[in-house]
Structure 1
Amino acid sequence: MRLSSMADYAVVMMIAAARHCGGARVNAVQLAEETGLPAPTVQKLVSRLSAAGLLKSVRGAGGGFKLARPAAAITLADIVEAVEGPIALATCVEAGGGQGKGPGRGDCALEPACSLRPHWPLVNETLRGALAGVALTQLAAPPQPMAPAAGVSA
């Protein structure tokens, strides 16, 4: 499983926004410069993240964007879902069922008799829970060295 480039870029942008101390506003040009992302990509992501309630837009002189809530209250799951939609590894159990074809998208030949399908919600919720356990504050902090795994000597 991999995040799309847009979801990855959204995380990078949100980290940059979180690093502006005290909820200071930052504009799209600054975000583009700080992250190295193209300005049109930043504009598109700002729009999606604002619509999801993660960024707040302030218009006028000195306007820009700031986090809509404290960085500790924004999770990796929130950011990914703002760009990708609900977290689901299999399309047959995505929220809303996809393209009006019933519970699944109808593009899996095994769907009518699938024994795995009833278990996907648990898998999806476990994955979402793991991503929800990572706060934006953790991502914006300098990386900590990883401790060696138990039983592994240096």
Structure 2
Amino acid sequence: MLRISKLTDYGTVILACLAAQPERLLTAAEVAERTRLGLPTVSKLLKKLHRSGLVVSTRGSHGGYQLACPPTDINAARILEALEGPFALTECSGEASTCGIEDSCQVGHAWQRVNAAIRRALTEISLAQLAGAERATPTVAPLTRMPRATSSATD
């Protein structure tokens, strides 16, 4: 199953918290209180987000954290890559493939197309949309249920 990690989910919650007050520096303790996440987890994720360039930190008694750029300029793909590394569904889908059967694989090209489509979809969703400040416009038609086949008593 394709699923982001709990820490990536929490990292997105932290970014949404910072996006809610972009003009204000928030301490790790304030972020922990507002998100109801543990302070050690928040501190760890803020450091990782800072290293990736999504968050800036200011030291001192009036210091704290804030987004490095507007939430509309941060997309879901960038968040995932900051917290989980390069996006790749399969070994051959990433930029640096080390797959031993890539030359003879019959399904690799299809997985690369799937990977590219998912990554493209992730780049179209901003942190502002994830945080609920801006409605996401679906670019893919929603799934609909197929009508059930009915059989009549006369069949």
The answer to whether the superposition gives a TM-score over 0.5 is yes
TM-score normalised to the size of structure 2? 0.79
- By how many angstroms is 1:93 displaced? 3.1
Distance (Å, rounded) in 2 between the aligned partners of 1:126 and 1:75: 15
Aligned residues: percent identity?
37
Larger Rg: 2
- 1:27-106 equivalent positions in 2, closer than 5 A: 27-97=27-97, 103-104=98-99
Gaps of 5+ in 2: 146-155
- By how many angstroms is 1:142 displaced? 5.8
- By how many angstroms is 1:116 displaced? 1.3
The list of structure 1 runs, each at least 4 consecutive aligned residues, that deviate by more than 4 angstroms after superposition, is 149-152
Going from structure 1 to structure 2, the CA distance change for 1:150 and 1:65 (only over 3 Å counts) comes to closer
* Kept after mapping to 1: 8 A contact 2:27/2:64: yes
- Which residue number corresponds to residue 117 of structure 1? 108
RMSD: 2.5
Going from structure 1 to structure 2, the CA distance change for 1:151 and 1:5 (only over 3 Å counts) comes to closer
Q: Deviations over 1:60-106 (max 9, x none)?
A: 12100000001110111111110111111113433334xxxxx22x5
Distance (Å, rounded) in 2 between the aligned partners of 1:59 and 1:36: 23
Distance (Å, rounded) in 2 between the aligned partners of 1:132 and 1:143: 15
Q: How many residues align?
A: 139
> Could you say what secondary structure the match of 2:56 adopts?
strand
Higher helix fraction (1 or 2):
1
> Could you say what secondary structure the match of 1:23 adopts?
coil
* Kept after mapping to 1: 8 A contact 2:18/2:26: yes
Q: Deviations over 1:28-56 (max 9, x none)?
A: 11111111111111111111111111000
